Structure 1
Amino acid sequence: MPSSTGPAIDTITEGGRVTQVGEGQEADEGTPPVMTFGAPAVGEILAERYQLAEHINDDSAGRQVWRGVDVILRRPVAVVLRHPGGDSAKEMLQAAVVASRVIHPNLVGVYDAIDEEDRAYVVREWVDGHSLREVVAEGPLDPARATAVAHAVAGAIAAIHATGMVHGNVHPGTVMIANDGRVVLADARTDGADSPETDVRAVGGVLYYALTGHWPHAETPLTGGNVRRARASVQDAVRDASGAIAAPRQVRAGVPAYLDDLTMDLLDAQLAAPSSDVLSAELGRLAAAAEEQDFDSGPLRFTSGEAAPDLPATGGRKTLIGIGALLVVALVGLLIGINVLSDGEPAGTDAAPTPGPTVTAQAGAAGEPEPPASKPVKLDLRPNQVRVIDPGGTRSELDGVEKVVDGDSNEGWETESYHNQPNFGNTKPGMGILINLGEPREVTSVQVEFSAPGVSAELRWGTADFPSTDAGDKALLRAYKERIGNPYEKADGSTVNFSNFTPGQKYQYLMLWITELPQSEPFRYKIGVQEITVQAR
């Protein structure tokens, strides 16, 4: 009798979308055939519900990948079989169980994992599409598309890391691009040989591959863990005589400098790797900028708190450093000239010391009056700069949040109606809206228009975004402890203002956090957020 070692089919991805498993690894030439005795056949039904329809491929991990049909739910599935089952399939089954615990739109969902002793199989989503390796074989992706793919992969990795697990198998064969444009990551490993940093470095490899068509990790196994690299499956990176890889801009014209720098930073083992949630947030920012064709602001540079080692001489970086040095020299010369002109004679021994290259000249120095502070302006927030935070919730209340920044207070986002309890029916600690200002700003006030008075709310701030998952929202709530001013307790009016910001301090991430709902009708509690207005210098 089959024994189920993983979740049943109630583990379904967001929206019930049907997708396919990643292709895993290419079989090496000479890989012995798998599934001899007891090999499956077209039309066979496994576990009385999964009918095999088409054998897709074999891989070097000793598995067969089949397209199948769930005859109960009448949906296509991917079935990955290994012969024999038992101990030899333990790693595959454990990986399936681990993967089933993380639900994310950029992760392939796992429906079932079954061990029949003579064979074992995992049932997963079916993706109508192609692997990144197949897509890039037709030509490298444009920078905007490459950034979007890397962002999707980083988001999936961040969701996995938020649970304390790692993927361990990120490469062009496990990144799938569906025909509808969705990007999903498949085929996680659980052999313990990898770490969160391995996953983050691999995202850098995926970005490099998408931009150039070359894989930068030829010196290490393509798939990580204990599986051999698939020979001849991807092209090795272009390297110099010392073995150092060429930067994407040296391989292909048209790669923006900011994306070139970010990619090389992720691949540089001498630089501390960022956490996956920080990387996901940064790639999300760059992806949004790419959509708007706004490439003026450079990316976050991932360096440790200590002095960073000398960077390789890859054109762009050295040029930027050189320009920066020239600007410092020019600034020093300008300050000296101003000093001479203002005194009417060369600076002597009694003159104020001239700022050197490491001194920052500040307005208001030497007794001059402070310049007036710039007038606060209303920030033009876009829909992709706000999202709902729902830790412990059903995630059924995420839609409509873009209305809180559309300039129309007649429309807004609202919670569901909770029965009998103003504190979300005692099902979760609260709900919130995360505001990403896009860059650090000197915020002076945040005004929130609610649909009714009586709400209890506060404003918090933090330093990073987190994955838009239940685990990510819980991690964000733990990280965002600092309040702006005092909370409102059952506010008298429907409009509240938070203005107790520290002068001179800059904020990028703010979270409106709602802890208690007003009564909307007898025994029912809910609230709407009609508009959020942020003023900043």
Structure 2
Amino acid sequence: MDVGRLVAGRYRLRGRVGAGAMGVVWQALDERLDRVVALKQLVVPEGADPVAAVGRAAREARIAARLQHPNAVTVHDVVQDEGKPVLVMEYLPARTLAELIARGPLPAERVATIGAQVAGALAAAHAAGIVHRDVKPGNVLLTDDGTAKITDFGIARAVGDVTVTRTGLLAGTPAFLSPEVARGGEPVHASDVFALGGTLYAAVEGRPPFGDGDNAIALLHAVAAGRFPPPTRAGPLTDVLAELLRTDPAARPTMAQAADRLRALTATRPAATRLDLNPADLAPRPPDRSPAAPPTAPAPAWSADPQRAHPTALAPRPARTGRVGLVAVAAAAVVGLVVLALVLTNGNRSADDTAGASAPAPSATTAASAPGDDPGPARLEQAVAEYYALLPKNTAQAWDRLGPGLRAQGRPQYEKSWREVKALTVSSPPATAGADTVTVGIDLTGPGGGKTRESHRLRLVVQGGTPLIDADEVLSSQRIDDADDDHEDKKKDDDRKRGGGKSGEG
């Protein structure tokens, strides 16, 4: 790429902004819309199929584009240039958190400010079924006015970064991986929580939890073991880091809960200096209905250096029933094509926002239903089937079948998210996967006729015996190649014609 060059017929390169392990970033002018954008030309790993890399990048970009949040960099488009994928993103004059850390540790108060914003964006992504997969200081952008934005959603998977290749070699750095991913597991929401903890640890201590040595394999082993020294500069952040960096994924807080913890640390600061908070975050919020960590034996906050015989341990905190980031639930709204908000039957519901100070917080299902209201697996599956039978045409009736978690997005946003969907068919029938969980496969047809096949996990709540779809997680999303289907149909048609001719001649 060179300055002045036109990419994809509309993006005029103005200058190179920076480069990293996954690509080179340019500032460009979108001549069609007359706006400044950032172009990221992704690096295709040596020996990888560039066509497959372009396809992966396009799929990940489509997923990332569903997220619209003030603390997440917006993805506008994905194009090809010289056979390589190029992401078109919001341009943001900013420095990375990694650049700041390179100058020395940051004050704990400032780190809490940054963490509150990033956690809010990630909570919104999680509510929309999006896993970032590569949360690290280099992917956190900071502007001069104190705004923090997370970028590069899903790009690690698109280009094969931070993975073990077919030859057994490690690509990328595992410094901010979670232990379960370092052991070969698939990144999930809890993995992002750990990575955020590692990012904030690095910001306040000046180095990642597991060090930053050049031997990636040795570092991977250290991450997998989950042992690192406790922070010494974290101050009020110490307890929060202990929760985020628990080795057991089930013992970590949800990202929405993490955002709450971090916001609480900034609550005593003067309003004029609270640049970490967005106006939406200051509004009263409904209770967090994400499953709380199980009340099992307390997990070690960290495994300190080997000389310490007794690592620090903290008991899991119960989920807060007060404010739970509006952005977190608002992300459910961002379920653009991903908005597989699931719920059933009419019914305005007022959520039970109160919980006794000493009594354990009720689960989403028990809070909405009385004893004997359990509809059973068949009714849950029927509720999901009936919901999708209404879409994408009857969004008004479908809206009546949503629970409070998905309704938090607002009806205008919900209806907007379905306008780009021209048709929907169920590819895999609803099947219960738990007491309040149903999995389902759907095929979505876009305005241009392109089809996407997605697998979803839906969580339902019950009110008055009626199941309502309250949360939606996208487990997978892939473009369906209609060309093979068309070819097969044509082949069958030709065979029928040939067969008919022969019988006529006989």
Alignment TM-score, normalising by the size of structure 1: 0.46
Q: Which has the larger radius of gyration?
A: 1
Structure with more helix by fraction: 2
TM-score, with length taken from structure 2 = 0.48
